[in-house]
Amino acid sequence: MPETIVATRSFTEKLVAARSASLSLATADAALKNRALEAIAVAVERNADRIIPANDLDLANGRENGLSSGLQDRLRLDEGRLRGLASAVREVAALVDPVGENVRGQTLPNGLKLSQVRVPFGVVGVIYEARPNVTVDIAALALKSGNAVVLRGGSAAENSNRVLVELIQEALASVGLPADSVQTIDEFGRDGAKQLMHARGYVDVLIPRGSADLINTVVAESKVPVIETGAGVVHVFLDESADRQWAIDIVQNSKVQRPSVCNALETLLVHEAAADRLLPTVLADLAASGVTIHGDERTRALFPDAVPATEDDWSTEYMTLDLSVRVVSGLDAALEHIRRYSTQHTESIITNDLGNAERFLAEVDSAVVMVNASTRFTDGGEFGFGAEVGISTQKLHARGPMGLSELTSTKWIVRGSGQVRA
Amino acid sequence: MPETIVATRSFTEKLVAARSASLSLATADAALKNRALEAIAVAVERNADRIIPANDLDLANGRENGLSSGLQDRLRLDEGRLRGLASAVREVAALVDPVGENVRGQTLPNGLKLSQVRVPFGVVGVIYEARPNVTVDIAALALKSGNAVVLRGGSAAENSNRVLVELIQEALASVGLPADSVQTIDEFGRDGAKQLMHARGYVDVLIPRGSADLINTVVAESKVPVIETGAGVVHVFLDESADRQWAIDIVQNSKVQRPSVCNALETLLVHEAAADRLLPTVLADLAASGVTIHGDERTRALFPDAVPATEDDWSTEYMTLDLSVRVVSGLDAALEHIRRYSTQHTESIITNDLGNAERFLAEVDSAVVMVNASTRFTDGGEFGFGAEVGISTQKLHARGPMGLSELTSTKWIVRGSGQVRA
């Protein structure tokens, strides 16, 4: 029984097994990896009777421990959600295998043939919180990109994750891939997360997904290289020439469509010459959707229902139906505000002025910079990546939505015929 | 006088000035950056009378402090070396500007135009040791890629570096770029290096160049993302079918041409079926060039002059005219040895067997993997990058020789016409 094996293995033994599995995965061809993914999809669809009781146990524990209704909802798996998970795995299977992609190459004057090709990282560690769907999503993405993965999913989803990982391991074994390609370390508790952050040499890259607290802890503690998926204090700037309807639609969509995610709007900046024309309607529309406006003095003069914005508001990622609004003297002041308060996730300018659009694109130093589009488009699915590991707000390795190729490294291949250096 | 300004500035003030300079550099066009590089080249050529006395002072201090003759040689600048430095700067100027390169892009079904473009990191920190030429090289590479750079060059070269940075700053100012684009923090001593490692938010990436000790310290301590330029325990494997002349030439070149660098050969593995045919000649040739052979038992049976290899030898980066040699049972044993002892820098197989060549290329997990070529080719200059920041042995962001594009991040540009997410 997998439980017995898991329980008797030390943390280091599990990491050694992950490394060993990664060697098989690195040279597995796309057809084999896709058979594994199909087997995982089938297992998730057909084993509701194993998954849902485990999930019910987590939910019962959650209620007992006072888990909020929002987090309980994130934790819940039902037959519909399992079908959705299986379908997500099949979408990953349908993507082009990133491994072996020739990134660049050339033949040198001395006849050496150089090519830089994509290779898996090896062993990927992921630390996340109480969302069992992430277990399946990340396992699928890691396998497709040829990586073994070590998952630390949080105690609130421990029973759900244990069953999901067992099913994934059985599916892997059924097609002849190492079951250890996907492992959970939940049984080691908080100490396991800490050990994972110090497992330099065993784990090639660590990806934290979840709250700002979780991410900050991992970034501060980890000795393993981290890809940071960060918070979004996202800005829209309504320039003097902004089209009125675009301003209304884009602000509404950016703030209201799904306020709890990192690409949702948090601060609206408005050119003072457009404030009279745009703000009353834009803000009335938001208020009608239940948004609380935190406005500076000039905003409140135009929209008296706004509560006063505090200094803290400018750097707050609400993730709720709250919005900070500030009237600025122009593009320079907007750029200055964004430089000071943005988390460099996504910013958008609504304008009809070509020069201002180009300056905004060039000078805003964020993962995604937009002209006349909703900030909600910063998303791997929307970008056409098919699936998303997370959205990187760091500058190293990956920036913005991360798809399969962001889960790979590269390696230089040199083919010679006896060349030596002069 | 620059000295006065430098002395009155706090560490944080310098980093804030670097960030501010980076904003100008990020939008500077290639023509302006190239004028700055030409001004730097001219300044280095024409100011031997300022540089060499400062360098003499460093050399005198070095002799007093017992600096080895090898390190004294690395520290020394003379008119010839200054001409070489100026010419290296002009080579960087001649390279294509990586900033703005369109990496990938597409128009989405909803009409959004997506493009991923190269952008500078912002502020790059570099920590290195007693090599004033690195000061000029790194400044040139950072400027060309639109980055401000903060240099910590080590106390042994402090006077040389101070004058070089002054000259670079004067050159930058002469073309209208911020002098603070290139700064040294040598005046803060060891504490400055430590503060640089903790300057998260001020410094976007930190690159250590130098000894394994230096690199390990930076990797362990830094809160700023690091690109690790690592040690090379480099292997060549002579397969059963290895061409005799290629084996002789490639081993000789890999070991002897420049033994003190990271791409030099440290361990030779030989297929047992080729040992009789190849080892005596290959090792006799090396011995004739002054190489000390550290052999396993079977090697010493064929080459009695070898000293016995110890377990430590297999993981030693000698950087001297020493070589570890082991007879292995075949490709699998060679791969196993490399997995265990390699630092994942460069490995090369000498073979005429296509299947073995492809397995070696696929299964060796190193930055550069070669067939029938000298390991000395792992080099930015040889790869055609024109210049080299260092050789990355990590898997995140950059792997292998790092040129200009490895000093950049990317940013997603989204151009819309009012699109909102459904």
Tens digits of residue pLDDT in B152-190: 998 899 999 999 999 999 999 999 999 999 999 999 988
CB contact under 8 A, B220 and A223: yes
> Same structural domain for residues B223 and B240?
no
**Which residues, numbered 37 to 96 in chain A, qualify as contacts with chain B under a Cβ-Cβ cut-off of 8 Å?**
none
> Same structural domain for residues A123 and A23?
yes
d(CA B262, CA B391) in angstroms, rounded, equals 9
Q: What is the pLDDT of residue A1?
A: 39
**Which residues, numbered 131 to 190 in chain B, qualify as contacts with chain A under a Cβ-Cβ cut-off of 8 Å?**
none
Q: B354 touching A, CB under 8 A? A: no
> Same structural domain for residues A314 and A359?
yes
Would you say residue A325 lies in a domain?
yes
Would you say residue B67 lies in a domain?
yes
Would you say residue A46 lies in a domain?
yes
Q: B119 touching A, CB under 8 A? A: yes
Tell me the average pLDDT across B288-311.
Answer: 98
> Same structural domain for residues B43 and B182?
yes
CB contact under 8 A, B399 and A376: no
Q: Does residue B6 surpass a pLDDT of 50?
A: no
CATH number, position A327: 3.40.309.10
Would you say residue B238 lies in a domain?
yes
Q: What is the pLDDT of residue B205?
A: 94
CB contact under 8 A, A368 and B412: yes
Q: Lowest mean pLDDT of A160-169, B64-73, B251-260, name the range.
A: B64-73
Distance from CA of B339 to the nearest CA of A (A): 10
Would you say residue B421 lies in a domain?
no
Percent of chain A clearing pLDDT 70 (strictly above): 98
> Same structural domain for residues B247 and B196?
no
> A209-239 burial string, b = 16+ CB within 10 Å, else e?
bbeeebbebbbeebebbbbbbbbbbbbbbbb
Q: What is the pLDDT of residue A2?
A: 43
> Same structural domain for residues B112 and B216?
yes
pLDDT tens digits, one per residue of A45-63: 999 999 999 999 999 999 9
> Same structural domain for residues B217 and B292?
no
> Same structural domain for residues B289 and B201?
no
Instruction: Please give, one letter per residue, the 3-state secondary structure of chain A.
Output: CHHHHHHHCCHHHHHHHHHHHHHHHHCCCHHHHHHHHHHHHHHHHHCHHHHHHHHHHHHHHHHHCCCCHHHHHHHCCCHHHHHHHHHHHHHHHHCCCCCCCEEEEEECCCCCEEEEEEEECCEEEEECCCCHHHHHHHHHHHHHCCCEEEEECCHHHHHHHHHHHHHHHHHHHHCCCCHHHEEECHHHHHHHHHHHHCCECCECEEEECCCHHHHHHHHHHCCCCECCECCCCEEEEECCCCCHHHHHHHHHHHHHCCCCCCCCEEEEEEEHHHHHHHHHHHHHHHHHCCCEEEECHHHHHHCCCCEECCHHHHHCCCCCCEEEEEEECCHHHHHHHHHHHCCCCEEEEECCCHHHHHHHHHHCCCCEEEEEECHHHCCCCCCCCCCCCEEECCCCCCCEEECCHHHEEEEEEEEEEEECCC
CB contact under 8 A, B361 and A413: yes
Tell me the average pLDDT across B110-129.
Answer: 96
Tell me the ipTM for this assembly: 0.92
Taking CA atoms, what residue in B is nearest to A374? Answer: B420
Tell me the average pLDDT across B278-306.
Answer: 97
Percent of chain A clearing pLDDT 90 (strictly above): 85
Distance from CA of B412 to the nearest CA of A (A): 5
Q: Lowest mean pLDDT of B157-166, B186-195, B308-317, name the range.
A: B186-195
Tell me the average pLDDT across A201-209.
Answer: 92
Taking CA atoms, what residue in B is nearest to A242? Answer: B418
Q: Lowest mean pLDDT of A6-15, A85-94, A401-410, name the range.
A: A6-15
Q: Lowest mean pLDDT of A4-13, A249-258, B116-125, name the range.
A: A4-13
Contact list, B394 vs chain A (CB under 8 Å): 225
Owning domain of residue A300:
234-377
Q: What is the pLDDT of residue B381?
A: 87
d(CA A372, CA A349) in angstroms, rounded, equals 6
Pairing between β-strand A113-120 and β-strand A102-107 as defined by DSSP bridges: antiparallel
Out of A249, A401, A420, whose CB is closest to B250? A420
The pLDDT confidence band at residue A5, using thresholds 50, 70 and 90, is very low
| Mean per-residue pLDDT over chain B, rounded | 94
Would you say residue A384 lies in a domain?
no
Distance from CA of B112 to the nearest CA of A (A): 8
Q: Does residue A301 surpass a pLDDT of 70?
A: yes
Would you say residue A383 lies in a domain?
no
> Same structural domain for residues B134 and B245?
no
Q: How many domains does chain B have?
A: 2
Q: Where does residue B189 fall: left (phi above 0), alpha (psi -120 to 50 degrees), or beta otherwise? A: left
Contact list, A245 vs chain B (CB under 8 Å): 418
pLDDT tens digits, one per residue of B34-85: 999 999 999 999 999 999 999 999 999 999 999 888 888 889 999 999 999 9
The pLDDT confidence band at residue B1, using thresholds 50, 70 and 90, is very low
The pLDDT confidence band at residue A7, using thresholds 50, 70 and 90, is low
Distance from CA of A404 to the nearest CA of B (A): 14
CB contact under 8 A, A417 and B253: no
CB contact under 8 A, B415 and A372: yes
Query: Would you say the C-alpha torsion A152, A155, A161, A162 has a positive or negative sign?
Result: positive
Tell me the average pLDDT across B228-254.
Answer: 95
Cβ–Cβ < 8 Å for A118, A98: yes
Out of B116, B368, B411, whose CB is closest to A414? B368
CATH number, position A140: 3.40.605.10
d(CA B176, CA B204) in angstroms, rounded, equals 24
Q: B108 touching A, CB under 8 A? A: yes
Q: What is the pLDDT of residue B386?
A: 73
Distance from CA of A51 to the nearest CA of B (A): 32
Q: B106 touching A, CB under 8 A? A: yes
> Same structural domain for residues A181 and A277?
no
pTM of the model: 0.91
Out of B225, B369, B421, whose CB is closest to A411? B369
Supply A398's token pair. Answer: 């990956």
Would you say residue B385 lies in a domain?
no
Distance from CA of B234 to the nearest CA of A (A): 15
Supply B3's token pair. Answer: 């000295």
> Same structural domain for residues B223 and B242?
no
Q: Does residue B3 surpass a pLDDT of 50?
A: no
pLDDT tens digits, one per residue of B370-397: 999 999 999 998 998 877 788 999 899 9
Cβ–Cβ < 8 Å for B307, B292: yes
> Same structural domain for residues B332 and B347?
yes
Q: Does residue A412 surpass a pLDDT of 50?
A: yes
